Structure 1
Amino acid sequence: MRLRHHSGRVVHLTHGTAVRPARDLPAVVEQLDAYAKAVRSRVDVDTLGVSLWLPPTLAAALAVDGRSRTRLRAELTARGLEVVTLSGVPYAQGGDEGSEGPGRIDGGPDWSDPARLEYTLDLARILVDLLPDDAVRGAVSTIGLGRADGWDEAKQKACARILGRLSGGLAEVAWQTGRAVRVGFRPGPGAVLDGSASIAAAFARVDKDRLGVSLDLAALACTWEEPGAYLDRLAGAGVPVIQAQVTAALQADDPAAAAGALRGYVQEGHPHPVTTPDGGYLPDLSDALRDSPAGPWRVLAPVPLKEQPPAPLSATTGVWRTAVRQLMAGDLPGTEHLDIEAQSATELAELGLSPPAVHISC
């Protein structure tokens, strides 16, 4: 879907399609029918932007098989779908039932491992063939470098070398195809990239023309930073927001009183990190319920934008609204890509975006 910023620039609005990785191209097509086609019908639009999740083995195969990429592009077109972003955050293989999913911020090799580089460049090579003809450039999202726990000097040096190779690889893709792809690193609790200070420091010597951040606004909420100040710090450091995922986190002002409701969000094998305003961090909600740190808590668990969690819990709605409004308030859009599950033009208008009269999708 295309939305029109007040500057006249286009902002691409996409909808995620998969809850688990697909083994092969026919499985991807099945997901397009099961998820994206149903959403397009519900919001009654001609063209729906979707963000695909292709696992490493499938990505490697598609990256060297031009015919398969052409077929995938044709399948998208036939369903009124377009792709401008690919998710490379999780690293699960097709059919895996592990803890990884499109919203995970860790798992698989980190950015000190060349395997992460190879996977991301495979996605970039695929994306340039899927982009609509009039799209300026596309985006691939990836993890926030890796887990903070165990991230030592050796990993940091290896990561710096690999990020240089990533920048060079993206430049080569652009030179060979005439289409540009940027990579956004997704910060989150427990990651090397967590708050705005760590992002600004990490990007001090990085190619910011091709590399930036892919913000999960629920994860931003879990930093407890004021979203305007967070975005101002990124802008001051010259770090581009390549993509923003419009999501809400769970909040418990009084965790003891909310313990019963919180237990309903515990999922074995699907950890939901918990943070507190004083910098406290626990890797999973089950740990927080056991150790009972002082509240309030914010939990990186998905809360649908149109719903409220059961009392006495709340959602960090104010955080994502403030962040999106700031991203869209400037002379130019603060990001070219939003990932959202809005279902009506009214919801889009509430984000400070104006859908064109002919082309409304989400």
Structure 2
Amino acid sequence: MLSYCSNVVAAENMSALEQRLATVFAPARELAGVETLGVGLWLPARTMAGLADDPAARRRLAAILAHHGLAVVTMNAFPYGSFHGTSVKHAVYRPDWTTPERIAYTRCCAEVLGELLGDTDHGTISTLPLGWAEQWSDESEAAALRNLSALGDELRQIEERTGRRIRLAIEPEPGCVIGSCRDAIEWFGRANLDPRYLGLCLDTCHLAVMHETLGEVVSGLAGIGVEVVKNQASNAIQIDELADERVGQAFAELSGSPYLHQVNGVTGDGQPWFRDDLSFADPSIPRSGSARCTTTFRFISTRPRRCAPPHTSWPR
């Protein structure tokens, strides 16, 4: 189901989420002209834990979704904490999959999603690709595999209890332990985790940044029996000429962004280079010749629209 991910809007508590569902997601469904629009639900860990512990709050959310013609079939469990109004940068990769906090957060997401799926018998949860690569060790890998295996057991129990299969979707991201889909194929091949509850989240921006093709990814995964269980449609920017001074001027306007913008480039003489956060103030970035790079700046096209939600009494 085509879904609009809720982490693109600031809604980090239930009150804010309800407001955004009425004023952003419901109008988006109307503009799309569809009977039901998917919502890729994201909430920070503290809010998700409260929702998982509150049956009445889950019933209320389900009623609001149904009223607006919205459905949750996937969740984004990548950002653990606040994602708006503060600098995120490398903090988005913490806590990583070596920690009990990461498995607890994902467990709460799975419990909530299992109830929100309604008549649908399967759902997905995207998550970070283990953690940031710097200082990742064999001990880190072993701890992450233990946690992922334990979560797989819990997802199996949810399916046995509810009849709904929820799969964790590993999202490769440049600079992380699993930085590309090629890395993911290699990792899945040796991880020995149950593919019924684990698959790939394919982000088209990250695919472009790492200069990969959809065909090679799909065929590589098919060879090891792993599926693409979630797709994220997002944009990357290609810069064909780094020497053009207008490039630096354009990106200077975005220098205050709270997010990382990884860049993967090739110099004019064919030498590859990578930075975890693009800054043209960095003198080490190649500036001559005919370099190519793609960056993870995201651009979302919106049509402004004012909408006053109807006064409705929701179950408490």
For the superposition of Structure 1 and Structure 2, which TM-score range results when normalised by the shorter chain? Answer: 0.7 to 0.9
For residues 48-90 of structure 1, the C-alpha deviation after alignment (integer angstroms, 9 at most, x for no partner) is 1111111101111111211111110001001111110111011
| Residues in 2 aligned to 1:23 and 1:268: alpha-carbon distance in whole angstroms | 19
Aligned residues of 2:130 and 2:176 also touching (Cα < 8 A): yes
Q: Does 1:213 align with 2:196?
A: no
Tell me the secondary structure at the aligned position of residue 138 of structure 1.
strand
194-203 vs 282-291, greater mean Cα deviation:
282-291
Cα shift at 1:300 = 0.8
For 2:48, the aligned partner's letter is A
Q: Show the counterpart of 1:87.
A: 76
Aligned length: 292
Change (3 A) 1:94 1:301: closer
Tell which deviates more after alignment, 222-231 or 81-90.
222-231
Bigger shift: residues 15-24 or 189-198: 15-24
Query: Which residue pairs with 2:210 in the alignment?
Result: 223
Query: Which residue, 179, 182, 185 being the options, matches 1:194?
Result: 179
Match of 1:58 in 2: 47
Question: Retained in 2: the 8 A contact 1:250–1:303?
Answer: no
| Deviation for aligned residue 1:256 | 1.9
**Residue identity in the other structure for 2:44:** P
Asked if the contact 1:21/1:53 (under 8 Å) is kept, the reply is no
Q: Contact 2:130–2:177 at 8 Å: present in 1 too? A: yes
Give 1:224 shift.
1.1
CA offset at residue 114 of structure 1? 1.6
Counterpart residue number, 1:235: 222
For the aligned residue pairs, the C-alpha RMSD in angstroms reads 2.3
Counterpart selection for 1:250 from 237, 243, 268: 237
The one of 1, 4, 24 aligned to 1:15: 4
TM-score, normalized by length of structure 1?
Answer: 0.75
Q: Does 1:183 align with 2:172?
A: no
| Contact 1:221–1:249 under 8 Å retained in 2 | yes
> Pairwise mapping of residues 314-329 of structure 1 onto structure 2 (< 5 A)?
none
User: 1:298 corresponds to which letter in structure 2?
Assistant: T
Task: Report if aligned partners of 2:131, 2:176 keep a CA contact under 8 Å in 1.
Answer: yes
- Paired residues of 1:189 and 1:281 also in contact (CA < 8 A): no
SS of the counterpart of 1:220?
helix
TM-score, normalised by the number of residues in structure 2: 0.85
Q: Following TM superposition, by how much is the alpha carbon of 1:21 offset from its aligned partner in structure 2, in angstroms?
A: 5.5
The one-letter code matched in structure 2 to 1:229 is E
Shift of 1:282: 0.4
Which segment drifts farther, 34-43 or 66-75?
Answer: 34-43
CA distance in 1, matches of 2:162, 2:123: 13
Deviation, 1:149, is 1.0
Does the 8 A contact of 2:7 with 2:83 survive in 1? Answer: no
Aligned to 2:312: none
Deviates more, 1:216-225 or 1:261-270: 261-270
Secondary structure class of the residue paired with 1:147:
coil
Q: Distance in 2 between matches of 1:254 and 1:94?
A: 32
* Distance of aligned partners of 1:105 and 1:187 in 2 relative to their CA distance in 1, 3 Å threshold: farther
- How big is the shift at 1:228? 1.6
Structure 1 pair 159–224 and aligned structure 2 pair: CA distance change class (3 A): same
State, as a whole percentage, how many aligned pairs show the same letter: 32
Query: Match for residue 335 of structure 1?
Result: none
Q: Which amino acid aligns with 2:200?
A: V
- Opposite residue 127 of structure 1, the aligned amino acid is L
- After TM superposition, the structure 1 = structure 2 runs for residues 307-346 of structure 1, keeping only pairs within 5 Å, are none
| Superimposed CA distance per residue, residues 329-353 of structure 1 (whole angstroms, 9 cap, x where no aligned partner) | xxxxxxxxxxxx9xxxxxxxxxxxx
Which has the larger displacement, 274-283 or 250-259? 274-283
Query: Secondary structure of 2:298's match?
Result: strand
Contact kept, 8 Å, 2:205 with 2:233, in 1: the verdict is yes
1:280 partner letter = W
For 2:132, the equivalent position in structure 1 comes to: 147
What SS class does the counterpart of residue 64 from structure 2 fall into?
A: helix
**1 CA distance for matches of 2:82 and 2:248?**
35
The equivalences for 1:126-137 within 5 A come to 126-133=112-119, 135-137=120-122
Question: How big is each residue's C-alpha offset from its partner over 1:107-138, in whole Å with a ceiling of 9 and x where there is no partner?
Answer: 221111121111111101000111131x1201
Structure 2 distance, partners of 1:81, 1:131, is 11
Structure 1's unaligned 5+ residue stretches are 1-11, 307-340, 342-362
